């Protein structure tokens, strides 16, 4: 039998740090997660590599940032899908590493962006992406979306997202429990939940406001992320979002009971969510902290709080190190600054208490102790941020050049 702890990785979609009840936040939204944090390890500055699932998950499962192919149409959805698929099929994932160490491996993902279509099943002995099922079944059977208006909201949002994002954790729970009961130890289990992804529609038992409020508010997001009637709808959306997190926390309690006390438990967000900051709702376009600073909590490993920046790109190294009992690995994986990027293309450099954001039309510098409302007047730090962005861009360009040369060589027939 291989040495090492079993590992349970729970990824929560659109998981915003200041709503989850750990780190500097004092909300009681997620008591189970808070109990993990009380005796476990909390990363206060865990940073997602990107502002959307396809940008972040490709990195936190492989430990490498995706590289755009030369000449890629960054605005094309089909090109984006090819981009994700090529990255996942060309890189070694954390599941493959655990499998090579003798672990039994399984994944249950409700997010289509992490389906087998994109190659996320590599290395998993058991992989469920539920793509052949009605992903709306969980909420429909749970009594939330039986009305015609509710179905209209869901169908509209599906069209908007180009995917079905409505599988509740209860639709996954029995299969997960059955697998963990039969799995040989040590095992690696990955679960990806979408209950907190927009539109924010908690099931009936977690709803604290009328559907006559939540449906129009979510439809407002569908009609445009510049939210109409923001003064009225903002609080409706944030309350609904918080309720989805309370519901998600119930899954953590359920899974803890199912797997017992022994496995290493790691919970994190793939990216965060904006609620009006810089005029934006949702995620995907910007790199401000509500979107890239995500929760990351470790249970049944080392304890304490880590304040230095930690990129989710280092998650594979964190999991494998902790699984073999190396409790020094978290401190060794932090960095003075980390990068995030989007296909817009935008790039950010995030230090412990400062951030520089580059976009084609704008440069922004912030002192994070004061938030991201007023830019910092510091020419030296601004120049340092620009130098780091240019270093990152140069590194990406060199990788693109190598990829192009390899493709040309392959097409020539000389290899």
Q: Which of the residue ranges 63-72, 155-164, 212-221, 250-259 has the most confident prediction, judged by mean pLDDT? A: 250-259
Range ranked top by mean pLDDT from 23-32, 117-126, 404-413: 117-126
The more confident residue out of 220 and 102 is 102
Same structural domain for residues 100 and 137? yes
Q: Which of 162-176, 223-237, 396-410 has the lowest mean pLDDT?
A: 396-410
Expressed as residue numbers, the domain containing 355 is 345-415
Q: Take residue 373 and report the two structure tokens written for it.
A: 């409302």
**pLDDT at residue 302 is higher than 50:** yes
CATH number at residue 157: 3.40.720.10
> With bands split at pLDDT 50, 70 and 90, how would you rate the model's confidence at 415?
low
Closest-CA residue to 296 (of 2, 20, 7): 20
Would residue 248 count as lying in a domain? Answer: yes
Q: Radius of gyration (Cα) for the chain, nearest Å?
A: 21
Among the ranges given (13-17, 171-175, 290-294, 393-397), the one the predictor scored with the smallest mean pLDDT: 393-397
What do you get for the CA distance between the two ends of the chain, in Å? 41
DSSP H helices, 91-186, are 94-100, 137-141, 148-161, 170-182
Q: For residue 127, what are its two tokens?
A: 């992989």
Mean of pLDDT over the chain: 86
Confidence category of residue 147, pLDDT binned at 50, 70, 90: very low
Whether 171 and 315 map to the same domain: the answer is yes
248-276: average pLDDT = 95
Q: Of 335, 365, 388, which residue is a domain's last?
A: 335
Task: Mention every residue, 6+ apart, whose C-beta is less than 8 A from residue 178.
Answer: none
Distance CA 412, CA 327 (A): 49
pLDDT at 413 over 80: no
Window from 85-99, 211-225, 365-379 with minimum mean pLDDT: 211-225
Do 272 and 352 reside in the same domain of the chain? no
Contact 99, 153 (CB under 8 A): no
Q: What is the DSSP letter of 213?
A: H
| Domain end residue (candidates: 288, 306, 335) | 335
Selected residue with higher pLDDT from 407 and 383:
383
The residues near 200 (Cβ < 8 Å, ≥ 6 apart) are 214, 218, 237, 240, 241, 243, 244
Asked if residue 214 lies in contact with residue 236, where contact means CB atoms within 8 angstroms, the answer is: yes
What is the C-alpha to C-alpha distance for residues 167 and 114, in angstroms, rounded to an integer? 14
From 335, 363, 388, the end of a domain falls on 335
pLDDT-based confidence at residue 138 (cuts at 50, 70, 90):
very low
DSSP β-bridge partners for residue 341: 50, 347
């Amino acid at each position: 039998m291989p040495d090492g702890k079993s590992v349970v990785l729970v990824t929560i979609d659109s998981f915003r740090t200041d709503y989850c009840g750990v780190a500097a936040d004092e909300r009681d939204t997620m008591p189970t997660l808070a109990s993990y944090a009380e005796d476990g390890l909390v990363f206060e500055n865990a940073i997602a590599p990107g502002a959307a699932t396809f940008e972040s998950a490709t990195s936190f499962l492989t430990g490498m940032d995706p590289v755009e192919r030369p000449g890629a149409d960054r605005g094309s959805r089909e090109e984006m899908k090819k981009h994700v698929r090529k990255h996942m099929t060309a890189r070694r994932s954390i599941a493959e590493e655990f499998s090579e160490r003798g672990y039994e491996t399984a994944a249950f993902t409700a997010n289509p962006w992490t389906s087998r279509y994109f190659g996320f099943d590599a290395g998993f002995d058991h992989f469920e992406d539920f793509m052949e099922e009605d992903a709306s079944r969980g909420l429909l059977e749970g009594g939330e979306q039986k009305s015609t208006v509710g179905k209209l909201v869901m169908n509209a949002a599906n069209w908007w997202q180009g995917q079905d994002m409505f599988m509740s954790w209860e639709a996954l729970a029995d299969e997960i429990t059955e697998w963990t009961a039969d799995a040989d130890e040590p095992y690696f289990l990955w679960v990806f939940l979408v209950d907190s992804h927009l539109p924010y529609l908690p099931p009936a038992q977690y709803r604290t406001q009328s559907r006559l409020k939540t449906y129009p508010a979510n439809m407002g997001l569908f009609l445009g992320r510049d939210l109409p009637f923001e003064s009225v709808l903002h609080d409706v959306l944030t309350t609904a979002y918080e309720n989805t997190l309370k519901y998600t926390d119930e899954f953590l309690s359920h899974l803890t009971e199912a797997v017992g006390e022994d496995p290493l438990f790691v919970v994190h967000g793939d990216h965060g969510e904006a609620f009006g900051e810089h005029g934006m709702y949702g995620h995907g376009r910007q790199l401000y902290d509500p979107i890239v600073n995500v929760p990351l909590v470790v249970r049944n490993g080392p304890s304490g709080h880590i304040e230095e920046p930690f990129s989710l790109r280092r998650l594979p190294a964190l999991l494998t190190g902790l699984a073999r009992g190396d409790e020094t690995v978290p401190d060794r994986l932090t960095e003075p600054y980390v990068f995030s990027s989007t296909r817009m293309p935008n790039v950010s450099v995030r230090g412990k208490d400062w951030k520089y954001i580059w976009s084609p039309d704008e440069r922004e510098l912030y002192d994070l102790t004061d938030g991201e409302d007023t830019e910092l007047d510091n020419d030296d730090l601004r120049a340092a941020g620009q130098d780091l962005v240019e270093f990152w861009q140069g590194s990406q360009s060199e990788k693109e050049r190598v990829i192009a040369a390899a493709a040309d060589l392959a097409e020539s027939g000389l290899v």
